[in-house]
Structure 1
Amino acid sequence: MSFSTDELSFFRAHTDEVGAVCARLGLTKATALADAALAREEFGEYGRAVVELAHARRSALGKLPGNWWACHESAQQATPMIVAHLRARRIAQAAAALVFDATCSIGTEGHALRSLGIPYAGGDLDASRLAMARHNLGDNAWLLRADALKPAIVGCDVLVADPARRSGGRRIVKPEDLIPPLPDVIDAWGARSELAIKCAPGLDFSEWDGLVSLVSVDGGVKEACLYSPGLAGGTRREALIAKRVAEGEAGGIDQRAIEVPGIAERYLVDRIDDQLDDDVDVTPPRRYIVDPDGAVVRAGLVRHYAHREGLSMLDPHIAYLTGDRLPQGTSGFPFIEMVPVKKLKAALRAHGCGSLEILVRGVDVDPDALRKKLGLKGKRQMSVVIARIGTQAQAFICGKRVTANEAREATAE
């Protein structure tokens, strides 16, 4: 549950003490009773709120600055800082005199925009979220209580909005069902400013007259953002792939390193867009099979990515790719042989397979049910990629998943 304004006032008056107790809590199932007792002993009726704050901070490690205020729900809903920072970099190119974040929540977009020196104002209907944003962004942040569908600020160049994508625990799949509805946000602001509207990756964006940007972080697709034409730079589709890296780790020639202000994380970011050539061949399996990042698939840029990396397609309608090397910063599967799905069990037994990673696309196969059906008893770790090639389902038997660095080292040996 969210914090009351009274609880947030208590946090503000006891910032150091609250932070010290948060650091002492175990925050596991085994320590739940002890944590609650400690928090009540230190803070009485405010103990519950302190435990929730500690849990929210723990769940948002690497996603939000460690001293931020967030309840459980707002921490889960918050945009990862790297995603907000990538958006801020695009908005910065527009040289906006003022950006208004109509659903500012606890302030992630504001933090990213302000770190680049972009003038920012934030609004939200939830008084608790606004109070948390005030703490997180500082008392000099320009924040106001406002309805996202009732423009409360004049002269903003860019409108950022994040309509709620879940209701009653269920994911929303239609733009008109978002909260507030996506068409209503566009109607309210589209004639006033450029738009950057965050959406769920699975929505139908075919009618959007601007840029659709899909962003993934560490292999998981986090969001789609709809940019109006003035922010698109002539591009209609892009995929941004962000991966956390250790200090000194190098990326590929198409990747750039980004350090995100406020969190001790460094990312390599790769960008693929529809300005790239999409001329690729369809070939039999080569040395490796590659499953492109979900952002590339969702953005409809599989062919563009394949062309850039020198890969080919196994089928013109299936997103699995194949090549003689793995793109830098990715992983893939060393190809062994292709068999009909009905012969997969016998083939895996012949290879001594004991554990199996299963990938499926374009075929109605449940990986967990298939794994049980196969009854694997060998010792070898392997992978299988199942896809519809032409009109038939085929199984591509592969070795275990390897990274590009592992593949390169194996080749050198």
Structure 2
Amino acid sequence: MGYAFSRADIAYLASPAGAAALAEVGDFALTPASLLKDLERLRRDHGDHAPVLVETVRLRRRAAAKLGGAGEWLFTDDALQQATPSPVARRRAQRLAGRTVHDVTCSIGAELAALADVCPAVIGSDLDDVRLAMAAHNLAARRNVLLVKADALMPCSTAEVVIADPARRSDGRRTHDPAKLQPPLPDLLAAYTGRELAVKCAPGLDFDKLGWAGEIEVVSLDGAVREACLWSPGLAEPGVTRRAAVLSSAGEPWTLTDADPDDIPEREPGEWIVDPDGAVVRAGLVRHYAAKHGLWQLDPRIAYLTGDKVPEGMRGFRILERMEFREKPLRAELHRRDCGPLEILTRGVDIDPDALRGRIKPRGSQPHTLVVTRIGRQATVFLCATP
């Protein structure tokens, strides 16, 4: 659960003495191997402040990749885990640019920092005194941010847009049940009926059962699906109910919506297999992606795509052999091809890749990829060259 910060801890860390101590502790390794020895020395130099100094430095190191420009910020472990990565927060802020916005679950201020760059006035509220104090420290230089203590289910502003990020843990476990979020999603939506609303959610929610009238945007960053965002109808693009936003730390972002064409042919597998970005799959836009790039599906119910070329920037698997999925012939074919390192991708079949790898025991030297899926009712394996 991490260190339990107090308001006194935050006051110390934000003071000149605390800042100097943090700079000193930043020179320590603080690795699992060195931690006990480091703590012993730090307790001699900083007494009871040693644990909070160590925790803060370790959290800042973890935050470096997730929250750019937050090197002097304060965090709790849980708040850092839930904090929106900076590129994702900036993506949401860009859609809200020019409006007044109230983040009713502001925590330590990650969303507020992005919003403050493009919005004339931003309000952040939370019930957690410690996180509010951290947000005040983290956003001290932002003159257009107001912080207040308030219950997310009790509207207290007239901001044009309300955004929220309900906690996704219930009884210490991650949950995909909207009613078990904190605050519960149904209660949150009811509290802001008639208001423009953007709600960050887990991408694993069953969107069809949610009955959301606006737009659902699924966002990935560097190949990993990060979140879904519910946009109220007034914030959605007309005619769009599903969107995939694919962000990259190195390249240009791109989006795809259910207003794009989705007409694709039914054909035999082409030369390549393409696994679309997870945001495309979670948003239910596989056919739309295929239509955009001249691809088609291996099976209408399966998200793997195929074609004679690979879209720029995407990973493709060149098909070497197609076989009915039976382990003995597969093992023989892998042996014939001197297969060694083996990546196994599965979709639509109940197969554990690690268990399968253990049974077929590839012992050769050449890397390959297996794509195991279902075509019709038949489990099928494609032996592919590893890109």
Say which of 198, 210, 232 aligns to 2:236: 232
Counterpart Cα distance in 2 of 1:118 and 1:225? 22
How many Å separate the matches in 2 of 1:180 and 1:200? Answer: 14
Deviation of the 1:34 alpha carbon: 2.5
CA contact (8 A) 1:2 1:128 kept: no
Q: What SS is found at the alignment partner of 1:393?
A: strand
- 3-state SS of 2:10 partner: helix
Show structure 2 runs of 5+ residues with no match.
Answer: none
Shift of 1:15: 4.6
How many residues of Structure 1 are paired with residues of Structure 2 in the alignment? 375
TM-score relative to the length of structure 1: 0.88
Contact preservation (8 Å) 1:21, 1:39 = no
Displacement, 1:35?
2.5
CA distance in 1, matches of 2:266, 2:45: 66
Instruction: Work out whether 1:364 is the aligned partner of 2:367.
Output: no
How far has the Cα of 1:242 moved from its partner? Answer: 1.2
**TM-score under structure 2 normalisation?**
0.94
Equivalent pair of 2:96/2:119 in contact (CA under 8 Å):
no
Tell me the alpha carbon deviations over residues 66-95 of structure 1, each in whole angstroms, 9 at most, x when there is no partner: 221112221111110111110011112xx4
- Within the candidate set 245, 249, 272, 1:288 is matched to 272
Residue from 91, 104, 107 that aligns with 1:105: 107
Q: How far is 1:117 from its partner?
A: 3.4
Range moving further from structure 2, 34-43 or 197-206: 34-43
Answer yes or no: is the 8 Å Cα contact 1:53–1:72 preserved in 2.
no
Q: Could you say what the CA RMSD is over the residues aligned between the two structures, in angstroms? A: 1.3
Q: Distance in 1 between matches of 2:25 and 2:264?
A: 54
1:204 shift after superposition: 1.4
1:144 to 148, 153, 160: 148
Is residue 322–residue 383 contact of structure 2 (8 Å, CA) maintained in 1? yes
Please give the residue correspondences for 1:52-201 in structure 2 after superposition, counting only pairs within 5 Å.
52-64=55-67, 65-92=70-97, 95-96=98-99, 98-138=100-140, 140=143, 141-153=145-157, 155-191=158-194, 193-201=195-203
Q: Distance in 2 between matches of 1:39 and 1:144?
A: 35
Higher mean C-alpha displacement, 293-302 vs 42-51: 42-51
Q: Does 1:345 align with 2:348?
A: no
Matches within 5 A, 1:29-44: 29-44=32-47
Aligned counterparts of 1:84 and 1:344: Cα–Cα separation in 2:
46
Task: Provide closer, same or farther for how the CA distance between residues 241 and 339 of structure 1 changes in structure 2, counting only shifts above 3 A.
Answer: same
Aligned to 1:46: 49
Which of 224, 236, 246 matches 1:241?
Answer: 246
The CA deviation string for residues 131-186 of structure 1, in whole angstroms up to 9 with x for no partner, is 11111111643000110001122x11111001111123322121111111101001
Task: Measure, in 1, the Cα distance between the counterparts of 2:228 and 2:178.
Answer: 12
Identity of aligned residues (%): 46
Aligned-partner SS, 1:123: strand
Which of 388, 391, 396 is matched with 2:382 structurally? 396
The residue type equivalent to 1:186 in the other structure is: L
SS at match of 1:281: coil
Unaligned stretches of 5+ residues in structure 1: 246-250, 252-267, 403-413
* 20-29 or 286-295: bigger deviation: 20-29
How big is each residue's C-alpha offset from its partner over 1:193-236, in whole Å with a ceiling of 9 and x where there is no partner?
A: 20000111111122110010101111111111100001111211
CA–CA distance in 2 between the matches of 1:286 and 1:25? 55
Q: Which amino acid aligns with 2:49?
A: Y
Give the letter for the 1:380 counterpart: Q
How many angstroms apart in 2 are the aligned matches of 1:85 and 1:320? Answer: 30
